[in-house]
Amino acid sequence: MDLRSRSEDNLQVVSVHDARIDAAVAIEFKDAMRASTDGGSETVILDLSEVQFIDSSGLGAIVAAMKNMGQARTLALAGLTPTVDKVFRLTRMDSVFAVFPTLDGALTELKA
Amino acid sequence: MPDIQVCVQSSKLAVREALKELLAGLGPLHLDVEEVGTVELVMAEALNNIVEHAYPAGDPAGPIRIACKHATDGLHLTVTDEGRGMPDGRTPLGLAANLDVDFCDMPEGGFGWFLIKDLAKEVTYKRIDPQNRLTLRLAVAMA
Protein backbone atom coordinates (compact mmCIF):
# COMPACT_ATOMS: atom_id res chain seq x y z
CA MET A 1 0.00 0.00 0.00
CA ASP A 2 1.58 3.24 -1.12
CA LEU A 3 0.58 6.11 1.21
CA ARG A 4 2.45 9.42 1.08
CA SER A 5 2.16 11.98 3.82
CA ARG A 6 3.00 15.68 3.80
CA SER A 7 2.24 18.69 5.96
CA GLU A 8 0.59 21.93 4.89
CA ASP A 9 0.41 24.54 7.64
CA ASN A 10 -1.40 22.81 10.50
CA LEU A 11 -2.77 20.03 8.29
CA GLN A 12 -1.51 16.64 7.29
CA VAL A 13 -2.36 15.28 3.85
CA VAL A 14 -2.14 11.53 3.30
CA SER A 15 -2.40 10.58 -0.38
CA VAL A 16 -3.20 7.05 -1.47
CA HIS A 17 -1.13 6.07 -4.51
CA ASP A 18 -3.04 2.89 -5.26
CA ALA A 19 -6.07 2.33 -7.49
CA ARG A 20 -7.90 0.07 -5.05
CA ILE A 21 -8.64 -0.16 -1.34
CA ASP A 22 -10.30 -3.58 -1.26
CA ALA A 23 -10.40 -6.72 0.85
CA ALA A 24 -6.97 -7.77 -0.44
CA VAL A 25 -5.27 -4.71 1.08
CA ALA A 26 -7.68 -3.48 3.79
CA ILE A 27 -5.51 -4.59 6.72
CA GLU A 28 -2.37 -3.24 5.08
CA PHE A 29 -4.15 0.09 4.50
CA LYS A 30 -5.29 0.26 8.13
CA ASP A 31 -1.74 -0.40 9.37
CA ALA A 32 -0.23 2.12 6.96
CA MET A 33 -2.76 4.76 8.05
CA ARG A 34 -1.95 4.12 11.68
CA ALA A 35 1.77 4.53 10.97
CA SER A 36 1.18 7.80 9.04
CA THR A 37 -1.28 9.43 11.41
CA ASP A 38 -0.09 8.39 14.89
CA GLY A 39 1.16 11.50 16.65
CA GLY A 40 0.27 13.65 13.62
CA SER A 41 -1.71 16.84 13.30
CA GLU A 42 -5.21 17.27 14.62
CA THR A 43 -6.74 17.31 11.14
CA VAL A 44 -5.75 14.78 8.50
CA ILE A 45 -7.00 14.93 4.91
CA LEU A 46 -7.10 11.58 3.16
CA ASP A 47 -6.60 12.26 -0.54
CA LEU A 48 -8.46 9.54 -2.45
CA SER A 49 -8.21 11.09 -5.91
CA GLU A 50 -6.15 8.20 -7.32
CA VAL A 51 -8.41 5.53 -5.83
CA GLN A 52 -10.83 4.17 -8.43
CA PHE A 53 -12.46 1.50 -6.31
CA ILE A 54 -13.21 0.63 -2.70
CA ASP A 55 -15.34 -2.21 -1.39
CA SER A 56 -16.96 -2.60 2.02
CA SER A 57 -13.66 -3.85 3.50
CA GLY A 58 -11.91 -0.71 2.25
CA LEU A 59 -14.71 1.41 3.70
CA GLY A 60 -14.34 -0.42 7.02
CA ALA A 61 -10.60 0.23 6.98
CA ILE A 62 -11.18 3.98 6.51
CA VAL A 63 -13.63 3.97 9.43
CA ALA A 64 -11.04 2.06 11.50
CA ALA A 65 -8.42 4.69 10.61
CA MET A 66 -10.75 7.45 11.81
CA LYS A 67 -11.45 5.60 15.08
CA ASN A 68 -7.75 4.99 15.61
CA MET A 69 -7.10 8.74 15.37
CA GLY A 70 -9.61 9.31 18.15
CA GLN A 71 -12.62 11.53 18.51
CA ALA A 72 -10.59 14.67 19.24
CA ARG A 73 -9.05 14.60 15.76
CA THR A 74 -10.65 14.89 12.32
CA LEU A 75 -10.21 12.66 9.30
CA ALA A 76 -11.48 14.47 6.20
CA LEU A 77 -11.83 12.79 2.82
CA ALA A 78 -11.02 14.50 -0.47
CA GLY A 79 -11.14 13.73 -4.18
CA LEU A 80 -13.66 10.91 -4.20
CA THR A 81 -13.92 9.30 -7.65
CA PRO A 82 -17.39 8.16 -8.81
CA THR A 83 -17.43 4.60 -7.46
CA VAL A 84 -15.76 5.56 -4.18
CA ASP A 85 -18.34 8.33 -3.76
CA LYS A 86 -21.13 5.84 -4.49
CA VAL A 87 -19.99 3.54 -1.64
CA PHE A 88 -19.95 6.45 0.84
CA ARG A 89 -23.34 7.72 -0.29
CA LEU A 90 -25.13 4.35 -0.28
CA THR A 91 -23.87 3.42 3.18
CA ARG A 92 -24.53 7.01 4.40
CA MET A 93 -20.92 7.11 5.60
CA ASP A 94 -20.69 10.47 3.82
CA SER A 95 -22.55 11.80 6.87
CA VAL A 96 -19.85 10.55 9.26
CA PHE A 97 -16.85 12.11 7.49
CA ALA A 98 -16.21 15.60 6.21
CA VAL A 99 -16.15 14.90 2.46
CA PHE A 100 -14.67 17.35 -0.08
CA PRO A 101 -14.87 16.97 -3.87
CA THR A 102 -11.24 18.07 -4.32
CA LEU A 103 -8.06 18.24 -2.26
CA ASP A 104 -7.70 21.95 -3.01
CA GLY A 105 -11.22 22.53 -1.74
CA ALA A 106 -10.47 20.62 1.44
CA LEU A 107 -7.24 22.56 2.04
CA THR A 108 -8.95 25.92 1.54
CA GLU A 109 -11.80 25.02 3.84
CA LEU A 110 -9.79 23.37 6.60
CA LYS A 111 -6.90 25.85 6.72
CA ALA A 112 -9.31 28.62 7.59
CA MET B 1 -22.39 -9.45 -26.03
CA PRO B 2 -21.20 -13.09 -25.85
CA ASP B 3 -22.01 -14.83 -22.54
CA ILE B 4 -19.16 -14.57 -20.05
CA GLN B 5 -17.72 -17.41 -17.99
CA VAL B 6 -15.07 -16.71 -15.36
CA CYS B 7 -13.52 -19.34 -13.10
CA VAL B 8 -10.92 -18.67 -10.42
CA GLN B 9 -9.54 -20.59 -7.48
CA SER B 10 -10.47 -18.95 -4.17
CA SER B 11 -7.65 -16.80 -2.74
CA LYS B 12 -7.05 -13.32 -1.40
CA LEU B 13 -6.23 -11.96 -4.86
CA ALA B 14 -8.75 -14.11 -6.77
CA VAL B 15 -11.45 -11.48 -6.41
CA ARG B 16 -9.42 -8.85 -8.27
CA GLU B 17 -8.61 -11.34 -11.02
CA ALA B 18 -12.24 -12.41 -11.43
CA LEU B 19 -13.52 -8.81 -11.49
CA LYS B 20 -10.94 -7.84 -14.10
CA GLU B 21 -11.99 -10.72 -16.36
CA LEU B 22 -15.68 -10.02 -15.88
CA LEU B 23 -15.35 -6.29 -16.62
CA ALA B 24 -13.22 -7.04 -19.69
CA GLY B 25 -15.99 -9.35 -20.94
CA LEU B 26 -18.54 -6.55 -20.50
CA GLY B 27 -16.47 -4.25 -22.76
CA PRO B 28 -18.80 -4.59 -25.78
CA LEU B 29 -21.69 -3.12 -23.73
CA HIS B 30 -19.87 0.21 -23.27
CA LEU B 31 -21.24 0.66 -19.75
CA ASP B 32 -20.91 4.14 -18.24
CA VAL B 33 -18.85 4.72 -15.11
CA GLU B 34 -21.93 4.51 -12.86
CA GLU B 35 -22.92 1.12 -14.30
CA VAL B 36 -19.39 -0.27 -14.13
CA GLY B 37 -19.31 0.82 -10.48
CA THR B 38 -22.54 -1.04 -9.76
CA VAL B 39 -21.31 -4.27 -11.37
CA GLU B 40 -17.88 -4.10 -9.76
CA LEU B 41 -19.21 -3.27 -6.31
CA VAL B 42 -21.94 -5.94 -6.19
CA MET B 43 -19.63 -8.61 -7.56
CA ALA B 44 -16.73 -7.61 -5.30
CA GLU B 45 -18.99 -8.00 -2.25
CA ALA B 46 -20.41 -11.35 -3.45
CA LEU B 47 -16.93 -12.71 -4.20
CA ASN B 48 -15.35 -11.37 -0.99
CA ASN B 49 -18.07 -13.18 0.96
CA ILE B 50 -17.21 -16.45 -0.76
CA VAL B 51 -13.47 -16.07 -0.10
CA GLU B 52 -14.12 -15.14 3.52
CA HIS B 53 -17.01 -17.41 4.50
CA ALA B 54 -17.45 -20.25 1.96
CA TYR B 55 -13.72 -21.01 1.86
CA PRO B 56 -12.56 -19.65 5.25
CA ALA B 57 -8.89 -19.76 6.21
CA GLY B 58 -8.04 -23.34 7.18
CA ASP B 59 -10.44 -24.91 4.63
CA PRO B 60 -9.05 -26.00 1.28
CA ALA B 61 -9.46 -23.45 -1.53
CA GLY B 62 -11.95 -24.26 -4.26
CA PRO B 63 -13.47 -22.91 -7.45
CA ILE B 64 -15.53 -19.74 -7.80
CA ARG B 65 -17.44 -19.50 -11.07
CA ILE B 66 -19.24 -16.54 -12.56
CA ALA B 67 -21.62 -16.79 -15.50
CA CYS B 68 -23.01 -13.59 -16.99
CA LYS B 69 -25.68 -13.08 -19.65
CA HIS B 70 -26.99 -9.84 -21.05
CA ALA B 71 -30.77 -9.50 -21.56
CA THR B 72 -33.23 -6.68 -22.14
CA ASP B 73 -33.78 -6.34 -18.38
CA GLY B 74 -30.08 -6.08 -17.58
CA LEU B 75 -27.28 -8.42 -16.60
CA HIS B 76 -28.02 -11.84 -15.16
CA LEU B 77 -25.17 -13.14 -13.05
CA THR B 78 -24.78 -16.54 -11.44
CA VAL B 79 -22.01 -17.10 -8.92
CA THR B 80 -21.27 -20.64 -7.74
CA ASP B 81 -18.78 -22.12 -5.31
CA GLU B 82 -18.27 -25.44 -3.57
CA GLY B 83 -17.48 -24.14 -0.11
CA ARG B 84 -19.48 -23.92 3.10
CA GLY B 85 -23.15 -22.95 2.81
CA MET B 86 -24.78 -19.85 4.26
CA PRO B 87 -25.79 -20.22 7.91
CA ASP B 88 -29.57 -21.04 8.03
CA GLY B 89 -29.50 -21.63 4.27
CA ARG B 90 -30.18 -18.03 3.37
CA THR B 91 -28.39 -14.77 2.75
CA PRO B 92 -28.12 -12.20 5.53
CA LEU B 93 -30.86 -9.54 5.48
CA GLY B 94 -28.44 -6.82 4.55
CA LEU B 95 -29.94 -4.04 6.62
CA ALA B 96 -28.32 -0.61 6.56
CA ALA B 97 -25.73 -0.19 9.30
CA ASN B 98 -26.83 1.92 12.25
CA LEU B 99 -24.71 5.08 12.25
CA ASP B 100 -26.50 6.69 15.17
CA VAL B 101 -23.96 5.31 17.64
CA ASP B 102 -21.04 6.51 19.72
CA PHE B 103 -17.81 7.30 17.90
CA CYS B 104 -16.06 4.15 19.11
CA ASP B 105 -18.99 1.95 18.03
CA MET B 106 -18.97 3.21 14.44
CA PRO B 107 -19.36 0.10 12.24
CA GLU B 108 -16.29 -1.18 10.40
CA GLY B 109 -18.13 -3.99 8.65
CA GLY B 110 -21.53 -5.37 7.77
CA PHE B 111 -21.93 -3.20 4.67
CA GLY B 112 -21.46 -5.98 2.13
CA TRP B 113 -24.92 -7.54 1.95
CA PHE B 114 -26.52 -4.14 2.30
CA LEU B 115 -24.69 -2.98 -0.84
CA ILE B 116 -25.57 -6.16 -2.75
CA LYS B 117 -29.26 -5.95 -1.88
CA ASP B 118 -29.42 -2.21 -2.43
CA LEU B 119 -27.83 -2.35 -5.88
CA ALA B 120 -29.09 -5.67 -7.27
CA LYS B 121 -32.69 -6.02 -8.46
CA GLU B 122 -33.15 -9.71 -7.73
CA VAL B 123 -31.04 -11.81 -5.41
CA THR B 124 -31.60 -15.52 -4.90
CA TYR B 125 -29.49 -18.05 -3.05
CA LYS B 126 -29.72 -21.82 -3.19
CA ARG B 127 -27.62 -24.53 -1.63
CA ILE B 128 -27.54 -27.49 -4.02
CA ASP B 129 -24.98 -29.74 -2.36
CA PRO B 130 -22.08 -29.35 -2.75
CA GLN B 131 -22.71 -25.99 -4.44
CA ASN B 132 -23.75 -22.55 -3.32
CA ARG B 133 -25.55 -20.75 -6.11
CA LEU B 134 -26.20 -17.02 -5.97
CA THR B 135 -28.11 -15.36 -8.80
CA LEU B 136 -28.33 -11.62 -9.26
CA ARG B 137 -29.92 -9.28 -11.76
CA LEU B 138 -28.39 -5.87 -12.24
CA ALA B 139 -30.40 -3.19 -14.00
CA VAL B 140 -27.56 -1.99 -16.22
CA ALA B 141 -27.30 -1.93 -20.01
CA MET B 142 -31.10 -2.18 -20.29
CA ALA B 143 -32.57 -2.22 -23.78
Q: Which of B36, B41, B119 shows the shortest C-beta gap to A55? A: B41
CB A45 within 8 A of CB A11: yes
Give B57 to chain A, closest Cα distance, Å: 14
Stated pTM of the model: 0.95
> Does the B4-138 domain belong in CATH 3.30.565.10?
yes
**Measured between beta carbons, which residues in chain A are less than 8 angstroms from residue B106?**
63, 66-67, 96
pLDDT tens readout for residues B8-65: 999 989 999 999 999 999 999 999 999 999 999 999 999 999 999 999 999 999 999 9
Architecture of the domain made up of A3-111: 2-Layer Sandwich (3.30)
| Cβ distance of B109 and A56 shorter than 8 Å | yes
Domain ranges of chain B: 4-138
B110 by DSSP, 3-state: which? coil
Residue A9 — very low, low, confident or very high, per pLDDT cuts 50/70/90? Answer: confident
B44/A contact by beta carbon, under 8 A: yes
ipTM surpassing 0.90, yes or no?
A: yes
Give B88 to chain A, closest Cα distance, Å: 23
Residue A69: C-alpha distances to residues A40, A80, B10, B56 (Å): 9, 21, 34, 31
